[in-house]
Amino acid sequence: MATRVHMEALSPTMEEGRLVKWTKHEGDAVKSGDTLAEVETDKAVMELVARADGQLLKVMVPEGTTVPVGNIVAWIGKPGEKVDGAGSQESGAGAPKPAAAAAAPAAKALAPAPAPAPVPVAAVSDATRVKASPLAKRIAKEAGVDLKLVQGSGPGGRVIKRDVEGAPAPSPAAPVAAPAPRPTPDARRTGVPYEDVPLTQIRKTIAKRLAASIGPIPHFFLTTEIDMERAAEAREALNQQLGEAGGKISFNDIIIKAVALALVQHRACNAWFQEDHIRYWNEVHIGMAVAIEDGLITPVIRNADLKNLREIGAESRELAGRARTRRLKPEEYTGATFSVSNLGMFDIDQFTAVINPPEAGIVAIGSIVPKPVPEGGGDRLVVRRRLRVTMSCDHRVIDGATGAAFLRTLKQMLENPLAMLL
Amino acid sequence: MKVLEVIEAGTIPYAEALDWQRQLAEDRIAGRLPHDVLLLLEHPPVVTLGRNSHVGNLLEPSGIEVFEVERGGDVTFHGPGQLVGYPILDLSAYKRDLHWYLRTLEQALIAALAVLDIPAERNAGFTGVWTRGRKIASIGIHVKQWVTWHGFALNVTTDLAHFDRIVPCGIQGVEMTSVERETVKGKRERLWDESVGAVIAGFENAFGVSVIPSPEGAARQEHASLRT
């Protein structure tokens, strides 16, 4: 059966479009997705695309014609197939404008179109397939309405928004879309990658005022010193176990893993600031700042909390290598939920890193240096390998105590690496 | 947050840039390109005719390349000192509304000009960006399956005499202007860099996107492969 090609709306408020150019002509073979014509409004040109395979049987309007949205501009069908050309051509200017009506129900109150000619529904309608606007389909799906049971009032019996909205609620037996899951405290079990929590009024005010006071992101910094003796011992033991064959585990790998695990316990720090809400991630993706020739890029280790040290080590070496030769794909350096910047190899004791928006935090890792530290209640000094870690927090998301609690967990993990196995 | 990769491509001949954007748009439609892209570049002098062009608006056609292209709008001029932006955006992720898109493009440029201390505004019925009654940026877009190409042209240090060859955008009596002309103190290199930065920031604000740096090498590679 022949398929109509309608004038489409380039915007919800558009009532008519100017067909400026036919790119296919009567008799041309067309495939679904092929461009048939160009439609212009204002300074925009949109391609009108075929939604069926076949032959362009009939072109109903010449180039340069202004056509109301929803009107038939062409027919696609099997070669030789007859189309009810005259009837639909007559429907011209008076035909309903489904897109405009669907977008603005109030438009119904306006004067009705003068004597619209009947659209030849029966001649071409396809009984097995329901014709409906994408908006109507979406609303129907959300409401659980069976489109087959809805009487369409759009052109050619097409089901449009208002038809679906007037449709009866589904019977209990009908499949109903599941209600939106409520946020659960144990969010990681839900299988949902993140949860958007709207900003409360106080959060909005805090965000605005702090941002106005220092730059676009109100940073604050928390520093802690971590004893790395046990992490160093664990690293040596693991590397001995791996032998020469397996890639060595670095301090950086251990730190990335510890940060990821600490974030699992402190979801409040694993978040994005997004103008009107905070996105708390249930997944942990760690951005790893890598210095490249004339700048810096942060490849992302996805789901770092779920990977073992060997996997993290192999992945971070591979990503860092490709980052330096600029062979990273955009999806490999975007989407981190928190970042780690390590300048330990440059003999930096301590530094502050700048947050990579929209993330809310980053930890800056200094060098591991042997230092005398008091022991046994302070009556003697011992030399221990120590590491200074500074966390930069976006104050719009993380408050001082929140950041401090995360840092304490990170410190505990690194000082007692066995805790990472729990 | 939606991601926008910004590629600063330098000076690129019109025909080559057209192929590049068409290819990026096809890749975006087919899903091979996972995110939106903004190409920022300059063209050697060229006149282009949009789908709504009237040949009479090309006053002095000699000595300059002329292209007839699929974007909306009438005749315009591109050349050195003009910041041309080609956003390849999948509007399905924003709004399936070309008027919204045109107005948001204008908003991005108005915000950019505000950063440069130039008061700018819309002129109802005449798409583009205007300042003190003169036109400073032109817009003409094309969309297929809600993926955009073509875009805007902001005069930064453009030699405005070129516009005398045409009736810009088919608006009789329109006076064109540039960032340089509207800026009291203007050093050329600084103006260009500041304008590029301001436009990127304008996009971030108007479209609510997060701009990611383009791995320059990759962009060049991609572009080079199109030249062959």
B227, part of any domain: no
pLDDT in tens, A64-99: 888 888 899 999 998 888 876 544 444 444 343 343
Of B9, B41, B47, B169, which one is the catalytic site residue? B169
Contact of B210 with chain A, judged by CB distance below 8 Å, is answered with yes
Per-residue confidence (pLDDT) for residue A265, from 0 to 100: 95
Per-residue confidence (pLDDT) for residue A384, from 0 to 100: 93
Contact of A11 with chain B, judged by CB distance below 8 Å, is answered with yes
Per-residue confidence (pLDDT) for residue B66, from 0 to 100: 83
Contact of B102 with chain A, judged by CB distance below 8 Å, is answered with yes
Chain A hits for B127, Cβ within 8 Å: 42-43
Neighbour-count burial for A232-262, b at 16+ CB within 10 Å, e otherwise: bebbeebeeeeeeeeeebbbbbbbbbbbbbb
Structure tokens at A377: 């209640």
Portion 29-48 of A in contact with B at CB < 8 A:
33, 35, 38, 40-47
Closest-CA residue to A155 (of A60, A65, A71, A59):
A71
User: What's the rounded Cα separation, in Å, for the pair B64 and B94?
Assistant: 38
List, in order of start, the domains of chain A with CATH numbers.
Answer: 3-116 (2.40.50.100), 125-181 (4.10.320.10), 193-421 (3.30.559.10)
Per-residue confidence (pLDDT) for residue A103, from 0 to 100: 38
Give me the mean pLDDT over the A388-408 stretch.
95
Q: Do B144 and A35 touch (CB under 8 A)?
A: yes
To 5 degrees, how large is the angle CA A42–CA A48–CA A54? Answer: 165
Q: Given a cut of 90, is residue A350 above it in pLDDT?
A: yes
Helix axes B98-115, B188-207, angle to 10 degrees: 140
Contact of B221 with chain A, judged by CB distance below 8 Å, is answered with no
User: What's the rounded Cα separation, in Å, for the pair B211 and A39?
Assistant: 31
Q: How many percent of chain A have pLDDT more than 90? A: 37
Cβ(A1)–Cβ(A53) under 8 Å? no
Q: Which residues contact B10 (CB under 8 A, 6 or more apart)?
A: B41, B42
Q: How many residues does chain A have?
A: 422
Per-residue confidence (pLDDT) for residue A354, from 0 to 100: 84
pLDDT in tens, A253-281: 999 999 999 999 999 999 999 878 899 99
Contact of A211 with chain B, judged by CB distance below 8 Å, is answered with no
CA distance A357 to chain B (A): 8
Among the partner-chain residues A43, A47, A358, the one whose CB lies closest to the CB of B144 is: A47
Per-residue confidence (pLDDT) for residue A199, from 0 to 100: 74
Per-residue confidence (pLDDT) for residue A94, from 0 to 100: 39
Cβ(A273)–Cβ(A360) under 8 Å? yes
Contact of B28 with chain A, judged by CB distance below 8 Å, is answered with no
| Cα torsion angle, A163, A164, A170, A174, sign | positive
- Show the beta-strand stretches assigned E in A101-218: 194-198
Contact of A293 with chain B, judged by CB distance below 8 Å, is answered with no
Query: Residue A395 corresponds to which amino acid?
Result: H
Q: Which residues contact B96 (CB under 8 A, 6 or more apart)?
A: A11, B146
Q: Do B3 and A330 touch (CB under 8 A)?
A: yes
The pLDDT confidence band at residue A40, using thresholds 50, 70 and 90, is confident
To 5 degrees, how large is the angle CA A216–CA A304–CA A401? Answer: 50
- Domain that residue B99 falls in: 2-222
Among the partner-chain residues B100, B127, B215, the one whose CB lies closest to the CB of A328 is: B215
The pLDDT confidence band at residue A414, using thresholds 50, 70 and 90, is very high
B26, part of any domain: yes
User: What's the rounded Cα separation, in Å, for the pair B75 and A354?
Assistant: 46
The pLDDT confidence band at residue A129, using thresholds 50, 70 and 90, is low
Among the partner-chain residues A11, A272, A331, the one whose CB lies closest to the CB of B99 is: A11
B191, part of any domain: yes
What does pLDDT average to over chain A? 78
Concatenated DSSP letters of A352-396: -----TTBSEEEEEEEEEEEEEEETTTTEEEEEEEEEEEEEEETT
User: Taking the model in full, what pTM does it have?
Assistant: 0.49
Mean pLDDT, consecutive 10-residue stretches, chain B (228 aa), reads 86 91 91 89 89 67 76 85 96 91 95 92 87 92 94 94 77 85 71 91 91 56 39
Q: Which residues contact A222 (CB under 8 A, 6 or more apart)?
A: A390, A391, A393, A400, A403, A404, A407
The pLDDT confidence band at residue A113, using thresholds 50, 70 and 90, is very low
Give me the mean pLDDT over the A39-49 stretch.
83
Catalytic residue annotation of A: 395
Q: Do A45 and B72 touch (CB under 8 A)?
A: yes
Cβ(A326)–Cβ(B215) under 8 Å? yes
Give me the mean pLDDT over the A361-381 stretch.
91
Per-residue confidence (pLDDT) for residue A403, from 0 to 100: 96
Name the residue in chain A with its Cα closest to that of B4.
Answer: A330
Q: Do B127 and A43 touch (CB under 8 A)?
A: yes
Lowest mean pLDDT among A29-38, A235-244, A318-327, A410-419: A318-327
Q: Do B70 and A38 touch (CB under 8 A)?
A: yes
More confident residue, A19 or A376: A19
Q: Which residues contact B120 (CB under 8 A, 6 or more apart)?
A: B109, B110, B113, B114, B129, B130, B131, B136
**DSSP single-letter state for residue B146:** T
Number of domains in chain B: 1
pLDDT in tens, A146-189: 666 666 666 556 666 666 665 544 433 333 333 333 344 555 66
CATH number at residue B189: 3.30.930.10
Q: Given a cut of 90, is residue A369 above it in pLDDT?
A: yes
Residue A227: exposure state from Cβ atoms within 10 A (0-12, 13-18, ≥19): middle
Locate all alpha helices (DSSP H) within B116-227, ordered by sequence: 179-182, 188-207, 216-227
